[in-house]
């Protein structure tokens, strides 16, 4: 059974530092990997989606890499801002339609 | 605007009182699913539906029912809610691969 792990569970950095969030998964047979952002009590906002054939995706200050063979993905957020404070979730797509297996998330606090 | 809507957004109820959480999408997606989110456990899939009248269990289906009579709607039914079903619930829809999530329903069962 696919298991997704995110370490650390929580992270606090000063404004301006780069953020590095890790996600690992046990079964490399995935269709894609998505990174989401969740603000307290709110829904999920999709940040980046990496197809299984891709190595990375970029959007603005965000960059996500995928190493399927080793079962790892990393989300980099450059020059962090207080507005980046949120919980970041990674999820792998385990079938061709839509079953997502989520990690428990990394709670990020960026201090001014 | 393309979206997934859920109602109600917040609900406090008592043990054993049947309730339904509605989910509707306007994107003509075939795939829809329900997740629950609990602290430290992440999101876990409850049920999913590949199309009208096609539903199947996810990882944590006990205590829940679903139906898919129309493509746009996928209600979640708790026939006899219990306190361990207190959680944050998300509905999602997908055309395949990428998923779109609703805003969530916070349910408290006393």
Residue B65: pLDDT band with limits 50, 70, 90: very high
- Per DSSP, which regions of B39-86 are E strands? 42-51, 54-57, 65-66, 76-78
Inspect the interface and report whether the beta carbons of A98 and B104 lie closer than 8 Å: no
Are A47 and A99 a contacting pair, CB within 8 Å?
no
Q: Which residues of A touch B97 (CB under 8 A)?
A: 31-32, 49, 51, 93, 96, 98
Residues in Cβ contact with A60 at an 8 Å cutoff, skipping those fewer than 6 apart:
none
Are A71 and A25 a contacting pair, CB within 8 Å?
yes
Supply the pLDDT for residue B36: 96
Pairwise CA distance, residues A94 & A2, whole Å: 8
Q: Is B10 on the interface with A (CB under 8 A)?
A: no
Supply the pLDDT for residue A76: 97
Tell me the average pLDDT of chain B.
94
Residue A38 has pLDDT above 80, yes or no: yes
Q: Which residues of B touch A24 (CB under 8 A)?
A: none
Residue B76: pLDDT band with limits 50, 70, 90: very high
Supply the pLDDT for residue B42: 84
Cβ atoms within 10 A of the Cβ of A56, count?
A: 14
Residue B87 has pLDDT above 90, yes or no: yes
Residue B19: pLDDT band with limits 50, 70, 90: very high
Residue B47 has pLDDT above 80, yes or no: yes
Supply the pLDDT for residue A59: 94
Are A21 and A88 a contacting pair, CB within 8 Å?
yes
Pairwise CA distance, residues A98 & B9, whole Å: 24
Cβ atoms within 10 A of the Cβ of A11, count?
A: 16
Residue A30 has pLDDT above 80, yes or no: yes
Supply the pLDDT for residue B99: 83
Inspect the interface and report whether the beta carbons of A43 and B101 lie closer than 8 Å: yes
Supply the pLDDT for residue B41: 84
Closest CA to B45 of B92, B107, B108: B92
Q: Which helix (H) or strand (E) holds B55?
A: strand B54-57
Q: What is the mean pLDDT of residues A10-22?
A: 96
Q: Is B85 helix (H, G, I), strand (E, B) or coil?
A: helix
Between vectors from CA A58 to CA B99 and to CA A74, what angle results, nearest 5°?
80
Residue A19: pLDDT band with limits 50, 70, 90: very high
Supply the pLDDT for residue A95: 78
Tell me the average pLDDT of chain A.
93
Residue A51: pLDDT band with limits 50, 70, 90: very high
Are B83 and B110 a contacting pair, CB within 8 Å?
yes
Q: Which helix (H) or strand (E) holds A12?
A: strand A10-14
Write the DSSP string, A39-81.
-TT--EEEEEEEETT-SEEEETTEEEEEETTTTEEEEEESS--
Q: Which residues of A touch B98 (CB under 8 A)?
A: 32, 34, 46, 49
| Candidates A34, A43, A105; nearest CB to B102 | A43
Residue of A nearest to B30 (CA): A97
Q: How is residue A82 written in tokens?
A: 């207080």
Residue A91 has pLDDT above 90, yes or no: yes
Residue B16 has pLDDT above 90, yes or no: yes
Residue A100: pLDDT band with limits 50, 70, 90: confident
What is chain B's alpha carbon radius of gyration, rounded to the nearest angstrom? 13
| Candidates A97, A103, A104; nearest CB to B50 | A97
């Amino acid at each position: 059974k696919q298991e997704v792990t995110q370490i650390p569970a929580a992270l606090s950095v000063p404004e301006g530092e780069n953020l590095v969030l890790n996600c690992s998964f046990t079964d490399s047979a995935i269709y894609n990997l998505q990174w989401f952002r969740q603000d307290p009590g709110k829904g999920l906002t999709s940040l980046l989606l990496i197809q299984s054939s891709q190595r990375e995706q970029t959007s603005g200050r965000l960059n996500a890499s995928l190493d399927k063979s080793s079962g790892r993905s990393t989300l980099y957020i450059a020059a962090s801002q207080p507005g980046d404070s949120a919980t970041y979730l990674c999820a792998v797509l385990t079938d061709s339609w839509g079953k997502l297996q989520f990690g428990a998330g990394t709670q990020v606090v960026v201090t001014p | 605007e393309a979206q997934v809507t859920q109602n109600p957004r917040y609900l406090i109820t008592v043990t054993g009182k049947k309730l339904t959480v509605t989910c509707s999408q306007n994107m003509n997606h075939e795939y829809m699913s329900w997740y629950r989110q609990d602290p430290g456990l992440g999101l876990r899939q409850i049920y999913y539906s590949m199309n009208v009248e096609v539903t199947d269990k996810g990882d944590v289906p006990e205590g829940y029912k679903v139906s898919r009579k129309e493509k746009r709607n996928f209600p979640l039914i708790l026939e006899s809610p219990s306190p361990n079903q207190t959680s944050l619930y998300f509905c999602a829809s997908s055309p395949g691969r990428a998923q779109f999530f609703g805003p969530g329903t916070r349910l408290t069962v006393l």
